Structure 1
């Protein structure tokens, strides 16, 4: 069930979908038998999670915030304390975000028509799985898992939240801002007293199982995606500007292998001049109009 909430403040200005674009995308999906779908932050804005780069409404446009880098997280106890304090405060709201019509339509394309061979998502919000999709590769990891950097153990983020609540107490969401990775803005006085989590098995540093800026996607995941691209006949990009190379190289491989490609995104992307179909539209306005399961 799609909960109808209005998160238009996170969606860039866009024109209404026109009939010609609906027909182009419908023909593209109909002609595909093994469709690989690459999704970006532009599909989660419709669930209340802002992106970084969108004109006027993205976080880069509205704030001076820069996401934490992998190197910053590793080098400083103080930086890790601040990050975990913000993540702790933002978790309740971030974890309660629900899928929108785009996520549910992709689930139906996978389950009912068998069109989708795999969804590769750049998002860490778990919304594809919440919608019921099964064949999903999380390119940049998941905010719903926590990794020990010493012993490699994985923990549920919900479990870590319970442990954090025991040592830090309950705190209401004192921030109105949420970021794509669940990070938020909070007062410095709260950060200084916050007790961050440590691995209960080895005492190592815990980090959300997310590829922070400056880190690399694991080679095994890159290789798996390369295999999936090679064994798909077409590529559909939804809600991504393809600014990060980890997503753009999927397009480069598809180009090299002469796959059919289409992009639906508000605003320009890195691959606009390379693909057969580029549609300027909000994904939630068009995708459900081009599929027919009857």
Structure 2
């Protein structure tokens, strides 16, 4: 009997024992997610190697009952050296120097209680919505106009530019309403359902986040602290706004003139303004003019119509001591104010008393030297690979 016990403890079983329950797969069909291929995760293998009664997955709770437990939980996460790199393409191989990195990523995604995400176009390309700056597939390269196609001073400078802008907006709108949410969007919804997602700052205008039942609210309440989870930094493509009366309507692609719709208008007029003018004319009142509409997106050389309210939310989150994880994902931070937002929040998580938050940068390409200089030693981990893979890290 003694020799039998010795042999069983000296080797690691190739498969988990019968007493260990397998983790149930997330039900992603409820939100029409196209899941990635199932993969054997490195943290699973690590759990099989060192299994204790207190680390059983089914006993895990995302809700902490006291600050004492919270300190103990954070203390169990072994933080890597700054700017450590983890490749998500290493599966199913296990590299010795990446075992601890995988365990760290798994821990913070499952144990951090107040998470802020700053997202870019990289989280939506999986859904078939192209980004702007990719050399071969980006919208700028296809339209050959660079960022001038999103510049307020340029898109209405001549009819040719306005026509290209209209075609771009109609194309983006069509892709957005037909797109299914991605595994990463499902991850966001899961975190929101667990009450662990504090905020999502998105640069995307595709409004895919509004399809998530636990994230969808976008109405900004001015009451301090009573803010929505989702903050759209650059507006969205699903609505139009009048430049005169500020009336919001659902985007109607049939009203915009394109090469396939010559009956539309290059610059559509506001239907509410037209109706008001008709009433004023019948009443014998003087004309006040009719406004024009375009999608509720923020262009270059334009002030965000909700800029002050968004600034209040950013200031509130930056000063909030409970934030313990910042995820920068799908963006190379080429927009100055977004880079500043991430820099200030990362600095806040790393400085001051009890500020021991975690900061990770997730992208399918390495960060530029400019990004490394911006964050210096505040990045705990640089995760290189498809951000959709992160969905598999959530228990």
Give TM-score, length-normalised by structure 1.
0.77
Residue-by-residue CA offset, 1:78-99 (whole Å, 9 max, x unaligned): 6445423553465333321121
Q: CA RMSD in A?
A: 2.8
The superposition leaves residues 152-180 of structure 1 with CA deviations (integer Å, 9 ceiling, x where unpaired) of 111111xx346x29xx7xxxxxxxxxxxx
Q: In 2, are the aligned partners of 1:17 and 1:281 still within 8 Å (CA)?
A: no
Partners of 2:173 and 2:264 in 1: how far apart? 15
Instruction: Work out the CA distance in 2 between the residues paired with 1:116 and 1:91.
Output: 27
Q: Which residue of 1 aligns with 2:206?
A: 125
Structure-to-structure mapping, 1:99-118, within 5 angstroms? 99-111=181-193, 113-118=194-199
Alpha-carbon distance in structure 1 between the residues aligned to 2:115 and 2:168? 38
- Counterpart position of 1:260: 358
- Structure 1 residue 5 displacement after superposition: 8.9
Q: 2:387 aligns with which of 275, 280, 283?
A: 283
Structure 1: segments with no counterpart, 5+ residues? 7-13, 169-185
Match of 2:312 in 1: 223
Q: What is the deviation of 1:268?
A: 2.9
CA distance, structure 2, for counterparts of residue 251 and residue 53 of structure 1: 20
Structure 1 residues 250 and 86: alpha-carbon distance in aligned structure 2, compared to 1, 3 A threshold: closer
- Aligned position for 2:239: 145
Structure 1 residue runs of 4 or more that deviate by more than 6 Å after TM superposition:
none
In structure 1, C-alpha distance between the alignment counterparts of 2:35 and 2:315, rounded to whole Å:
36
Alignment CA distance shift 1:87-1:63 (3 Å) = closer
Partner SS state of residue 49, structure 1: coil
**Do the aligned residues in 1 keep the contact of 2:173 with 2:206 (CA within 8 Å)?**
no
- For residues 115 and 101 of structure 1, the distance between their equivalents in structure 2, rounded to whole angstroms, comes to 18
Give how far 1:29 is off.
Answer: 2.4
Task: Report the Cα offset of residue 74 of structure 1.
Answer: 5.2
Q: Deviations over 1:92-147 (max 9, x none)?
A: 33321121111011101111x22110111110111111132232111111101111
Match of 1:207 in 2: 294
> How far apart, CA to CA, are the structure 2 residues paired with 1:152 and 1:238?
32
* Contact 2:119 2:329 survives alignment (8 Å): yes
Matching residue within 114, 128, 135 for 1:48: 128
* Secondary structure, aligned partner of 2:371: coil
Between structure 1 and structure 2, the one with the greater Rg is: 2
Q: What SS class does the counterpart of residue 201 from structure 1 fall into? A: helix
How much does 1:62 deviate? 5.7
**In structure 2, what is the Cα distance between the partners aligned to 1:82 and 1:267?**
30
Comparing 20-29 and 135-144, the one that deviates more: 20-29
The secondary structure found in structure 1 opposite 2:124 is: helix
Residue 154 to residue 76, structure 1, CA distance change in 2 (3 Å): farther
Structure 2 counterpart SS, 1:271:
helix
Match of 2:371 among 271, 280, 291: 271
What is the count of residue pairs matched by the alignment?
259
The separation in 1 between residues aligned to 2:157 and 2:144, in whole angstroms, is 22
Question: CA separation in 1, counterparts of 2:316 and 2:138?
Answer: 33
Q: Does 1:234 align with 2:325?
A: yes
| Structure possessing the higher relative contact order (Cα contacts under 8 Å, 6 or more residues apart) | 1
